[in-house]
Structure 1
Amino acid sequence: MQHRIVPQVIEQLKPWQRAPAWCVAFSGGLDSTVLLHILATQIPPSSRPALRAVYIHHGLQQAAEDWPAHCQSVCEQLGVALSVIKIKVAQQASVEQAARNARYTAYAEHLQPEELLLMAQHQDDQAETLLFRLLRGSGITGLQAIPRQRALGQAHLLRPLLGIARQELEDYAQQHQLNWVEDPSNAEEYFDRNFLRRQIIPLLKQRWPATLSVLQRATEHMREAQQLLNDLAQLDLQQAQLAAPISWLPLAGLQLDKIAKLSDKRQKNLLRYWLADKTPAIETQHWAGWYDLRDAKADAQPVWRLQQGALVRYQQQLYWLPESWLASVETVQLEITKPGRYVLPGNGVLEVQGELPVLIHIRYRQGGEQMQLPTRGRRDLKRLLQEQNIPQFLRQRIPLAYMQQQLIAVANCSSLQGAKAKQFQLYWYPPP
């Protein structure tokens, strides 16, 4: 007799019938064992893509050393190929978070384009995650808890058990006499999630039997609210998007004067949306950095440092600088005698076109440079770059051409060419 959870899983998988393959994130525990068994035995091979499994070996506890062999045995019984991937977990305050980050990175690197990764989180996990984030004071984004599906690198991730309670999975496992491993760390109530799972959620279910389904419904409400906030952010972004005054600059930007007209709450909503793919979620205490940047004097050069980069201001323009752009570039002393493309360490590529004099030297700005222009005489380079509307953070990176110690050309600035540079052009392609 088919267990009642099987049709629910099959329904979740209908949109993914044309994926190149289904790959199960297999830990050997109850949840992933049930999921793998359903896919391998309850869905005919002719009705699904190729099926395989992947086990991520963290090496964090002695008990786990036997789990790869167990997973291999289960997969052999089911006729499913298994890949075992060993990873190193970074040493940091939260070992759980570090392991999770390393695990998802490994999945993203291992999966093939458009392949579907199937993970076995269930309704109890959803409730646990929602309560955990609520107690941390998370906003609407965090209170959406575990998403049912999302992109993962070039592949996709789906959680087909998310609407099914763990008790249902236990019933299925007992019906089919499945064997699984138990992670001893799950019994350690020192960990917050384990405490919620073992102490708080059972109490809630005693008083309110529908706790799991109600909490899942709450996450769906949060997802709807987040979509409305995203729609509002998109409208605000259309008004604030920076129409790049520098066509060759591959950096995202916003217009500060347009953002400043919004309420504080809409400013934060817009920035959360715009920065979502650039930096992890911004903690409440870090928003003071935004107000400092926004309200700084016109001639200031404020920087709002965040994870993986920073938001900087130049006049009324905001730019996001990735981490690689915040480091100082190496001193460069290129000698060029012929046209071509030249790699600038940590600073993109320089392309030289046209006819060169015998020799030109490529350097970066150090300060105090002057330049002789045919119609303007001798001018300070600092003032010339200001006139070209070159942001401050670019001025130490933009390549300069010298001949016999005389500055004769500035890359990407056709109006900043001396008389000796009329026969060639410098095109700088900054790092992405």
Structure 2
Amino acid sequence: MDQSTIDLPSRLLRNLKPWLDAANWRIAFSGGLDSTVLLHLLATLAKSESLPALSAIHVHHGLQAVADAWPAHCQAVCDALGISLQIVHVTVQQGASLERAARDARYAAFTSATRINDVLMTGQHRDDQAETLLFRLLRGAGVRGLSGMPAQRALGQGSLVRPLLDISRAELEAYARDHDLRWVEDPSNQNRQFSRNYLRHQVMPLLTGRWPQAHASTARSAAHLREAQGLLDELAQIDLAQASLPGEFEWSGLPSLDFAAIAGLSDARQRNALSHWLEPLTRLPDTDHWSGWVDLRDAGNDAAPVWRLADGELHRSAGRLWWLNGHWLRTPVVSGDWHETSLALRLPDNGRVMFSGQTPAGPLQIRYRQGGEVMHLADRGHRDLKRLLNERAVPAFVRGRLPLLFRGEELLAVANLPGLDSNALEGWRLHWQPSDEDQGLR
């Protein structure tokens, strides 16, 4: 038995040390070589070490007839090891990339299964890491992409962990032979129409034939790039700290940044800071589409520029950058009369409004700006609503959503705007909570 094979359990345990206090360890078990070895290693360690509860999850994609036998194989392996198995059937959406669609369906199942303080482990190894870096290099990825697969990241309410990233496929194969393990072979892994399979079967053998340490060296480069990405993330946090100071319209609940603080950075630091800020909010654009940021940044001061991204829009207004998605991109619908003014009024696609203090006499109605509205102010007489909104530098995208309180044709109040949202003599104020849902995270 090879010494590296003997050392595998201790190396795995060392890699998993930060998660020994997790509630559960769940293995993503495809039935293939990598996950079979990972499952066997953990089941063996559990006999001598105090580990969290072990279980496995098998995702059945239903993409090929041969795969119909895999759940039974996985069940037999788990039964022999005394590990419970959850089998999840998913539907893969047809599209341009079957690989990506299957991966999305698989990880959606993993996310649903991962609870608070759970760890879900996958079996990617060092060779996979090398192939990932090369694949992304050929697609023109930046530092973040070239840093490869992270050893751990958030997943659902817990964490995704890849504890085999410093272990080669050859070592896993040797362990499987030494322990007489059996696994399934996915026929699609031989299909060289898939880019990763082409790299694995056509390109990597040529590289390792000339440079035997190619897998190890490439994986090491990915580690260096992860460190570089970490430094870029730290720089982004420094640059975003000043830009993230609260602005005047924090009640909107929208993610926002001070525009001048971002625009004052070098071009590279602008892209770095914005990438860091946008990453949890939307799929990031490729290099060619960053021209949208330049157009937004360089637009005139009287403009209201918009940069449309995959999962929402970046707006520049009132001296800030604003991230809008979901209901903020839909036109709100008037809900009708407000009869029970002692209760909050829910507005379709626009949160809710409520009074503090006394409530004005009715009948009352919430409407939205159409243009031409006039409001009477005790100290200024009748004033155009447009002018009043301009004076307060209300962002353009907020103006069409601001709840306006009417009694008949009389505009009584504009929610949330000091001086316009209340009647001091009657002792009431109109409050607007723009959304009951979480803003931002996709």
Equivalent of 1:285 in 274, 283, 288: 288
Structure 2 match to 1:360? 364
- Distance in 2, Cα, partners of 1:283 & 1:218: 22
Structure 1 match to 2:211? 208
- Distance in 2, Cα, partners of 1:85 & 1:19: 23
- 1:285-340 CA-to-partner distances (Å, cap 9, x unmatched) read 11010011011111111110111111101142111112332122223323234311
- Distance in 1, Cα, partners of 2:7 & 2:147: 27
The question of whether the paired residues in 2 share the 8 Å contact of 1:28 and 1:181 is answered with: yes
Equivalent of 2:391 in 387, 395, 399: 387
- 1:126 paired to 2:126: no
- 1:34 paired to 2:43: no
- 1:408 paired to 2:412: yes
- Distance in 1, Cα, partners of 2:184 & 2:428: 69
Q: Secondary structure at the match of 2:366?
A: strand
- Distance in 1, Cα, partners of 2:422 & 2:272: 47
- Distance in 2, Cα, partners of 1:177 & 1:217: 31
| TM-score normalized by the length of structure 2 | 0.94
- 1:3 paired to 2:12: no
The question of whether the paired residues in 1 share the 8 Å contact of 2:422 and 2:428 is answered with: no
Equivalent of 1:372 in 368, 371, 376: 376
Equivalent of 2:117 in 89, 114, 118: 114
Query: Superposition pairs for residues 246-325 of structure 1, below 5 Å?
Result: 246-325=249-328
- Distance in 2, Cα, partners of 1:242 & 1:94: 41
Query: Superposition pairs for residues 68-107 of structure 1, below 5 Å?
Result: 68-107=71-110
Structure 1 match to 2:229? 226
Q: Secondary structure at the match of 1:64?
A: helix
Give the Å deviation of 1:261.
Answer: 1.9
The question of whether the paired residues in 1 share the 8 Å contact of 2:318 and 2:394 is answered with: no
* Structure 1 residue identity aligned to 2:410: Q
- 1:344-378 CA-to-partner distances (Å, cap 9, x unmatched) read 12111212232330321111112221111111111
Equivalent of 1:145 in 144, 148, 166: 148
- Distance in 2, Cα, partners of 1:45 & 1:152: 28
- 1:179-234 CA-to-partner distances (Å, cap 9, x unmatched) read 11111110010111000001111111111111111111101110111111112212
- Distance in 2, Cα, partners of 1:39 & 1:337: 60
The question of whether the paired residues in 1 share the 8 Å contact of 2:245 and 2:258 is answered with: yes
Structure 1 match to 2:176? 173
- Distance in 2, Cα, partners of 1:194 & 1:370: 67
Give the Å deviation of 1:10.
Answer: 1.4
Give the Å deviation of 1:422.
Answer: 3.2
- Distance in 2, Cα, partners of 1:210 & 1:7: 24
- 1:367-398 CA-to-partner distances (Å, cap 9, x unmatched) read 22111111111111111112222211011111
Equivalent of 1:63 in 62, 66, 90: 66
- Distance in 2, Cα, partners of 1:378 & 1:417: 16
- Distance in 2, Cα, partners of 1:133 & 1:263: 26
- Distance in 2, Cα, partners of 1:258 & 1:280: 23
Equivalent of 1:398 in 395, 402, 410: 402
Q: Secondary structure at the match of 1:47?
A: coil
The question of whether the paired residues in 2 share the 8 Å contact of 1:409 and 1:421 is answered with: no
User: Larger deviation: 104-113 or 213-222?
Assistant: 104-113
**Does the C-alpha gap of structure 1 residues 320 and 418 become closer, same or farther in structure 2, counting only changes over 3 Å?**
closer
The question of whether the paired residues in 2 share the 8 Å contact of 1:20 and 1:115 is answered with: yes
The question of whether the paired residues in 2 share the 8 Å contact of 1:341 and 1:349 is answered with: yes
- Distance in 2, Cα, partners of 1:387 & 1:24: 59
**Does the C-alpha gap of structure 1 residues 421 and 77 become closer, same or farther in structure 2, counting only changes over 3 Å?**
farther
Q: Secondary structure at the match of 1:168?
A: helix
In the alignment, structure 2 segments of 5+ residues that lack a partner are none
| TM-score normalized by the length of structure 1 | 0.96
- How large is the Cα RMSD of the aligned pairs? 1.7
Give the Å deviation of 1:23.
Answer: 0.2
User: Larger deviation: 50-59 or 346-355?
Assistant: 346-355
* Structure 2 residue identity aligned to 1:226: Q
Structure 1 consecutive aligned stretches of length 4 or more whose deviation exceeds 4 Å: 417-421
Q: Secondary structure at the match of 2:6?
A: coil
The question of whether the paired residues in 1 share the 8 Å contact of 2:332 and 2:401 is answered with: yes
